[in-house]
Each structure stands twice: as C-alpha cells, then as structure tokens.
Amino acid sequence: MKIHEYQGKELFRQAGVPVLEGIVASSAGEAVAAYEKLGGKIAVVKSQIHAGGRGKGTVKDNPDQRGVVVCKSADEVKAAAEGLLGKTLVTIQTGEEGKTVNKVFVEAGCDIARELYLGVVLDRAAAKPVLMVSTEGGVEIETVAEETPELIFKEHFDPAIGLEAFQVRKICKKMGISGAAAKAAFKFLPAMCRFFVDYDCEMAEVNPLVITGDDQMIALDAKISFDGNALFRHKNLLEYRDLTEEEPSEVRANDAGLSYVKLDGNIGCLVNGAGLAMSTMDIIKYHGGEPANFLDVGGSASAEQVAEAFEIILSDPNCKGILVNIFGGIARCTTIAGALIEASKKIGFDVPLVVRLEGTEVEEGRKMLEESDVAVINAVDITDAAKKIVEAAG
Amino acid sequence: MSILVDENTKVICQGITGNAGTFHSLKCREYGTAMVGGVTPGKGGQDVEGMPVFDTVEEAVSETGANATMIFVPPPFTADAILEAVDAGIGVIAAITEGVPVVDMVRVYEKVKASDSILIGPNCPGLITPGSCKIGIMPGYIHNVGKVGVMSRSGTLTYEAVWQTSNLGLGQSTCVGLGGDPIVGTSFIDLFKLYEQDDQTEAILMIGEIGGTAEEEAAAYVKEHVTKPVAAFIAGRTAPPGKRMGHAGAIISGGKGTATEKVAALEDAGIVVAPTPADMGDAVVKAMAK
C-alpha cells in the first residue's frame, strides 16, 4: 500500500525523523492560508500523487506547469495551486495517462547545503533490510545505480537491532559528512531504519535528504509503501489509503480477495495461481493476442469469488473474449464450472469464452459445462486454449 | 532415492484442526504419506480422524517421532510456528501459508539457516516424492514416480509442468514448490545441490518467474556445478514493470528482475528454456537429448 508524501511526513514526525513544517491543501484558498500560516516567506507547493518524478513532471496540456513549485508570494502560491489542483500530472513514473492531483502540500522552504539520497528496502538476495545512501540526491536513483553505482553506499541491518553506530560512522566517512551534520546523521539514519521495521515498510525512500546550511538533516521527501501482508498489525495506516489513486476494478477485486491487475489488451483471463496466470498472459501474447488483465482467483476460490471475477473482467469495455485456465489443486474444477454457469445466468456472456480445465474433479467439471446451456469453447491444453481465444477475440 | 522426503518421512501438521489443515492432512494421508499427528495450541488430546493433536511441536515430536511438518497456521502466527518447528529439531518444514509479513521472514530466515532444518516456503504448495510422500496441497494423481526433479516458485504452474512430464512418461523424483514470497527458506541453488547428488534424478526442471535475481544466481551455479541436464521456464515475460503479479515476489522494479535478463542468464548456462508454459515437458526432453 502506497501513501502520499504529506502522510509519510506525518508518520516521520511521530517517529523522530526530522521534516519541515507543512500543511496539506485541497483548494487554492487553503494553500494560500497554509502559506501565510507557515510565515509567508518561501514555500514549496508540491502536488500529492502516488508517483515519483513530480519535480520534473508537467501538467497535461500545460507543459510550463511543473508538479513542484517554489513560491515567494501568496500570488505565486495561488497560481501554483490553481495550476495543479484538479489537473493531470504526467511524470516518468505515471505513464502517459498521468495522475489527477487532488491535494497539494505547502511546505516551508529551507536553506539547502547538500542533497543526498536515502532509501530503505528489502534486499531479497541477502534476506535482510538494507539502508542505501548516496551523495547523488534529487535525481533518479535508478540512473545513479546504472551509471555510478560506486556512489551508492549500502548497510544491511538486523530488524531486531536496527542500524549500529559503527555503520553510521562508515556511511558518514564515505559521504564526507562530519561535525554537526554527522551528529544529525546519528539520529536520522537509525530512526529511518527503525521506521522501516516498525511500520513493516516495503520501501521507505527520502529523495532528497538534505543537509541544511546549519547542519541539520531533513527529509525533504517521503516515498513510502507498506507490506500489504503486515497491515493486520497496523490498522491505523488504513485511514491513509487513498482509493482515488487506485484502479477501481483493482480495488473491487482486492475487496473480493482476488488478485487482479488491469492491462491494455482485449482478452480477459481468469486463472488460478499467480504463476499460471502470468504464463497464461505470456502464451496469449505468444500466439498474437493481448491480455486485458492478470487475474488469480487463488487456491480456495469460492463460487461467489469466481462470479465476481467474471463481472470484473466483463466490466472492462475492451474485453472481447475470456480465457479460463484452471489447473485444479485446492480449487476444484467443479467449483469453477458451477460458478461459470451461475455467472452466465446472472450476467450473461456476450463475448466468446474459452475454457481449459485440468486437475481436481476435472471430469465432473467438464460434464457440468457440457450439460449446461453456456456457450463454451473447450480447449484441451494451454496452447489450444490460447490459440482459440486469440482467434475468437479477433 | 529422492530428495528431502521419502517413505520413511513422518509428518505432522501445524494447524491440523483448521479447515485447510484438516482437509489437506487427510488428502496427504490418502496419498500414502505417514501423517502421524498434528499440533494446535490448546487442543492437545483431541484427535482428527485418528491423527492425534498435541499442544506443542516438541510434544508431537517426542510422542510420534515426526521429522517433517506441514504448516497451515494463519499468517500472523506462521513465523512463530516455523520457529517452534526449528526448535523441536524437525528436519523438513513446509510452510504452506500465504501472506506472511516480510519482516517476520527476515527473522525466521536467519534462525533456519543457523539450524539443521530445511524450510520450504512460505506461500508454497509444499513438496512431494511421488509414490511415497506428499506434504502439501498439490493434487497427488498428476504425479508419477520418475526421473525429473521439478522445482518452482509457483504452485499451479508446477502442476502444469508435472502433468506434462507425467504425460511424456518421464515422471518425477521429487517436486518442490519454493514459494512466491520475496524471502523463502530454500533457494533453487539449495535444491540443485540435492538433485545433483540424487541417483533417481536424471534431469532438473526449474520454473522461475519475474522479480528478484534467484534465477540468475541459479544459472551461475548450474554453469559451474551441475552436470545433469537442466530445463527451465520463466513466467511473466509479458508482465509490465512496477505491477505486482499476485506473488509479492513477482514484480519488476528498477529495471531488475525482467524475464529477458533471466532467460539470457539461463541460456548462457546451457539451460534449455521453454518458450511457453506448454513446452516445459519438451524442454526437459530436449535437455536430456543434448
């Protein structure tokens, strides 16, 4: 689960990670009021969307309007807020379609001496969280990783212990941080590592992390996502979820306990198991088609879930055909067949349906479909299924 | 022989009194697995269709001589269940549960590696040595005793592969579902070591997916250390970057973990890569003919 920068900074503040004063606003009026409240000098108006690259991003149809604007007067704040709110911001991470800006964050300015990068993620190969810091702040870290990987410094840490003091010393030495700024690092770096663990983050990134003219360390950005599997112990985070940032059909699928990702093609897929679902997409493409979605009904799918899955797939206007590919393990072919027949009665299929069933209770499942009046194109295996649906969907 | 489990393996189920635990314990026993009991804290002394229930794993081990466990407890308690099994000295631990927090697995991974136990999963279908021992949720009948070692990060895709190798008359030595999470107890490399030593295994089929670098590391290992024929398949060739494809581990991020990179690494190691999921069995045949 992703959250907005202003929400991340609220959590940072509580966790002892230094941030600047800032106020979130939903209208130009609120933004101006926030500016006055912050002292009325220099403020930065930052669009709040779930994607990075906002500073360089521009508003659709208005390439002069950037996603982050430094303002020195109330008029400038008003213009920036009006230029952003309700508009679509396109950044390198949003894709061409961009994301709608519903809120801006008005933040006090600060005197920046150095811009650094900080990120905490899981290092899968080491099976441990890793703190990554770089002298190259404010730019895309992927670019740094590719071009100058020697400028990224990494320290793994034990989640139960956090970052050790010697690790902070190592990083400061390599980054050329000394004196009062190093003192700030001794607070900042361990606090970030602790934050990552305490909140079960998937990623906690601060880019840029700045050192101010008076040697303070401040998180100028906060890009945070949480491990969805751990949300059961962080119920308070659920209020931060912004459904307007998510694809409605994906939200609906999520509520039904289905794993669904919307794609751009025209062949709907209903599969059990993530790996098989991915390979079903692959084989559709291999035979010249384009999948409309990834959908894993899971191992123990109920009839209700399967019916919901069909409705979600059919709600996509691009869908010109559905491929059902089931290899029953825990999921029984009879459950899928029964749900398919039910769904057909309830919503009706106005697109061709190719079904490939294998595994637990396959004979009974096939028989159920045969005896029903649902128009099904049967497939004997996964290649046959892919070829038939590609042809049927045109 | 086979790897990890055989007809001498005695299995308990942690979470045996839950719906899934009961259902699959019975299915495993039906298949022929020596299911010797189960554990549910607070329900010791009960009985599930003739399988005794204990309060602790330690007790179950001392009473039944169990040397393997199958874990079905809910995600918030899975890490603890694994640690309890490690503490009790259980040799093979298969954690079927899906949805375990990653931070929990960091802690568990260290402890497992420092012990003599082997952890399969979490978020996996389990493992099976056809004809003698099934620990997990895979449909038993698709398997045949045979010569291919099958290992995979994905459940149903493994069934697909197993089905193809069965239909081709190759059969399987032992099939292991490694699990779809970012941190799992056992890697492809761990199993390559075992398959390489196993007499029954004549060829190895590795089924990977996008995300992470496990397949690239395995390819490097195969190039240096594996003499047996190896075939592979990578799921997610067409998956868009930044989108999680069901498994928490299956995501292309920062340009890393793409199928193209993985296929290139595998082919470089002399591994026959199946172009589509329908060709996994054929890829094994080709690898064996090389």
Q: Contact B156/A276, CB-based, under 8 Å?
A: yes
**Percentage of residues of chain B with pLDDT beyond 70:** 97
User: A321: which strand partners?
Assistant: A267
Based on the domain organization, do B32 and B63 belong to the same domain? yes
- Give the three-state DSSP class for B174: strand
In a domain? residue B109? yes
| pLDDT classification of A220: cutoffs 50, 70, 90 | very high
Based on the domain organization, do B177 and B248 belong to the same domain? yes
In a domain? residue B25? yes
Contact assessment for residue A28 and residue A70, using Cβ atoms and an 8 Å cutoff? no
Q: Contact A261/B243, CB-based, under 8 Å?
A: yes
Select the residue of B99, B106, B212 nearest A229 (Cβ to Cβ). Answer: B99
Summarize pLDDT for A20-29 with one digit per residue, the tens: 999 999 999 9
Based on the domain organization, do B142 and B275 belong to the same domain? yes
Mean pLDDT score, B106-116: 96
User: B129: which strand partners?
Assistant: B133
Query: B250 in contact with A at a CB cutoff of 8 Å?
Result: yes
Based on the domain organization, do B90 and B148 belong to the same domain? no
Based on the domain organization, do B174 and B251 belong to the same domain? yes
Q: Closest-CA residue in chain B for A253?
A: B246
Task: Kindly state the helix (H) or strand (E) to which residue B256 belongs, with its residue range.
Answer: none
Q: Say how far apart CA B44 and CA B51 lie, in whole Å.
A: 11
Mean pLDDT score, A226-243: 93
Based on the domain organization, do B115 and B46 belong to the same domain? yes
Q: What DSSP line would sit under A141-176, residue for residue?
A: HHHHHHH-GGGEEEEE-BTTTB--HHHHHHHHHHHT
Closest C-alpha among B185, B182, B204 to residue B193: B204
Based on the domain organization, do B149 and B104 belong to the same domain? no
Which residues have CB under 8 Å from A121's CB, separation 6+? A129, A130, A132, A202, A203, A204, A205
Based on the domain organization, do B105 and B160 belong to the same domain? no
Both tokens of A38, joined, read 């912050």
Summarize pLDDT for A37-65 with one digit per residue, the tens: 999 899 999 999 998 889 899 999 899 99
Q: Say how far apart CA A364 and CA A367 lie, in whole Å.
A: 5
Q: Supply the range of the domain harboring residue B44.
A: 10-120
| pLDDT classification of A145: cutoffs 50, 70, 90 | confident
In a domain? residue B1? no
**Residue to test with chain A: of B156, B238, B251, most A Cβ within 10 A:** B156
Q: Closest-CA residue in chain B for A198?
A: B103
Contact assessment for residue B173 and residue B146, using Cβ atoms and an 8 Å cutoff? yes
pLDDT at B46 over 90: yes
Structural domains of chain A ordered from first start: 21-108 (3.30.1490.20), 112-239 (3.30.470.20), 248-393 (3.40.50.261)
Summarize pLDDT for B186-234 with one digit per residue, the tens: 999 999 999 999 999 999 999 999 988 899 999 999 999 999 999 999 9
Name residue, tokens 């926030």.
A34
Q: What is the pLDDT, as a whole number, of residue A116?
A: 95
Based on the domain organization, do B232 and B153 belong to the same domain? yes
Closest approach of B66 to chain A, Cα-based (Å): 25
Select the residue of A159, A283, A296 nearest B276 (Cβ to Cβ). Answer: A283
Q: What is the pLDDT, as a whole number, of residue B248?
A: 64
Q: E-strand spans in B29-182?
A: 34-39, 47-48, 51-54, 68-71, 92-95, 118-120, 126-129, 133-136, 145-152, 172-177
Contact assessment for residue B90 and residue B38, using Cβ atoms and an 8 Å cutoff? no
Q: Contact B233/A279, CB-based, under 8 Å?
A: yes
Tell me: ipTM over 0.90.
no
| pLDDT classification of A237: cutoffs 50, 70, 90 | very high
User: A93: which strand partners?
Assistant: none
Residue B242 assigned ligand-binding role = no
In a domain? residue B77? yes
Radius of gyration of chain B (CA): 18
In a domain? residue B125? no
Q: Does residue B247 have an active-site annotation?
A: yes
Based on the domain organization, do B210 and B111 belong to the same domain? no
Q: Is A378 exposed, middle or buried (0-12, 13-18, 19+ CB in 10 A)?
A: middle
Summarize pLDDT for B147-169 with one digit per residue, the tens: 999 999 988 899 999 999 999 99
Partner A, chain B 200-229, Cβ-Cβ below 8 Å: 207, 209-210, 212-214, 217
Tally of domains in chain B: 2
In a domain? residue B129? no
Based on the domain organization, do B183 and B252 belong to the same domain? yes
Select the residue of B103, B210, B240 nearest A200 (Cβ to Cβ). Answer: B103
* CATH code for the domain of B176: 3.40.50.261
In a domain? residue B2? no
* CATH code for the domain of B35: 3.40.50.720
Q: What is the pLDDT, as a whole number, of residue B252?
A: 65
Q: Say how far apart CA A145 and CA A151 lie, in whole Å.
A: 8
Q: Say how far apart CA B112 and CA B107 lie, in whole Å.
A: 9
Task: Specify the long-range contacts of residues A362-367, CB closer than 8 Å, at least 24 apart.
Answer: A362/A328, A362/A333, A364/A333, A364/A334, A364/A337, A365/A328, A365/A332, A365/A333, A365/A334, A365/A336, A365/A337, A366/A333, A366/A337
In a domain? residue B280? yes
Strand order of the β-sheet with A104-108 is A22-25, A104-108, A43-47, A68-71
| pLDDT classification of A304: cutoffs 50, 70, 90 | confident
pLDDT at B18 over 80: yes
Q: Say how far apart CA A8 and CA B173 lie, in whole Å.
A: 50
| pLDDT classification of B63: cutoffs 50, 70, 90 | very high
pLDDT at A301 over 80: no
Based on the domain organization, do B34 and B159 belong to the same domain? no
Q: Say how far apart CA A1 and CA A238 lie, in whole Å.
A: 9
Neighboring chain A residues of B98 at a CB cutoff of 8 Å:
299
